[in-house]
Amino acid sequence: MNWSAAKDMLPADLRRMLSRVLGRDKRPRVRRYIPHGVTVEQFFTSLRDAGVQCAVLRWFDTLPYVAPGEDIDMLVADSDLEVLGSYLDNTSGSLPCDIYTAGGLPGTQYKQRPYFPAALAQSTLSRRLLQDGLYPVPSPADHFHGLAYHAVYQKGPASGLPTTHADVPPLAEPEHDYAAVLGALCDQLGFKISIDMESLDQHLAERGYRPARQDLLNLSKSNPWIASHLLG
């Protein structure tokens, strides 16, 4: 029996201790796992009781249920990364989680940069709410801005959002219905914004949430819409 298979049979606390002893926790990484034998409710109860400043960024309406093949994307305060990491396994588990820090600590970045601009990250953490008294989620405004940022700059045409740029057509069947969720949040917040790439970019820019030019250059390597609209 190999290490991975044998480790999965051990209690979560013992797995974490052995991982630290064997040096498996030394390299920071975005992808981590809720350990086998720990439920989603138990994991978030531990974070709440420990006072960890974090937020589930999106697709949190169905928690504790997470669809097969999906993961949990989380933003955490730099100072709480070590505590949050102590409840996760670096190598395997029952549910993957992608962990990003507000300041972009090593191993918790998106394309070698902080996941969000500093102002958006700070707002997301400081104004977070507890869904069902347990799951930390962004306020409606921060949810809208964070999801729009993710869709426009990180996903690009893969978000399925319409654009005026014919050279970068949106994906016909995106993984998630970004337009519907953003539209519902827009109505809830009373924003008068068209749900398309250009309008959302302008709205984010007006609030100081558009990435800096160097970050746009980096993101454009996997997002051709940025090259067409912002760097052309």
Which tens digits make up the pLDDT trace of 117-173? 999 999 999 999 999 999 999 999 999 999 999 999 999 999 999 999 999 999 999
For residue 121, being part of any structural domain is answered with no
Is residue 102 located within the same domain as residue 147?
Answer: no
Averaged pLDDT, 4-13? 61
Label residue 201 by pLDDT band (50, 70, 90): very high
**Sole residue written with tokens 């396994």:** 89
**Least confident piece of the model among 16-30, 166-180, 192-206, 212-226:** 16-30
pTM of the model: 0.88
From 137, 170, 201, the end of a domain falls on 137
- Which one-letter amino acid corresponds to residue 84? L
Question: Which residues, listed in sequence order, are joined to residue 131 by a DSSP beta bridge?
Answer: 135
- Predicted confidence (pLDDT) at residue 103 exceeds the cutoff of 50: yes
For residue 12, being part of any structural domain is answered with no
From 87, 106, 137, the end of a domain falls on 137
76 in helix, strand or coil? strand
Is residue 43 located within the same domain as residue 81?
Answer: yes
Find out whether the peptide bond into 96 is cis, omega within 30 degrees of 0: no
- Predicted confidence (pLDDT) at residue 20 exceeds the cutoff of 80: no
Is residue 143 located within the same domain as residue 109?
Answer: no
Strand ranges in the chain using DSSP code E only, listed in sequence order: 31-34, 54-56, 72-76, 95-101, 129-131, 135-137
- Predicted confidence (pLDDT) at residue 31 exceeds the cutoff of 80: yes
Number of folded domains in the chain? 2
Is residue 78 located within the same domain as residue 146?
Answer: no
> What percent of the chain is predicted at pLDDT more than 90?
87
Q: How far apart are CA 57 and CA 11, in angstroms?
A: 29
In this structure, the chain runs to a length of 232
Average confidence score pLDDT of the chain: 92
Give me the domain span that covers residue 181. 139-232
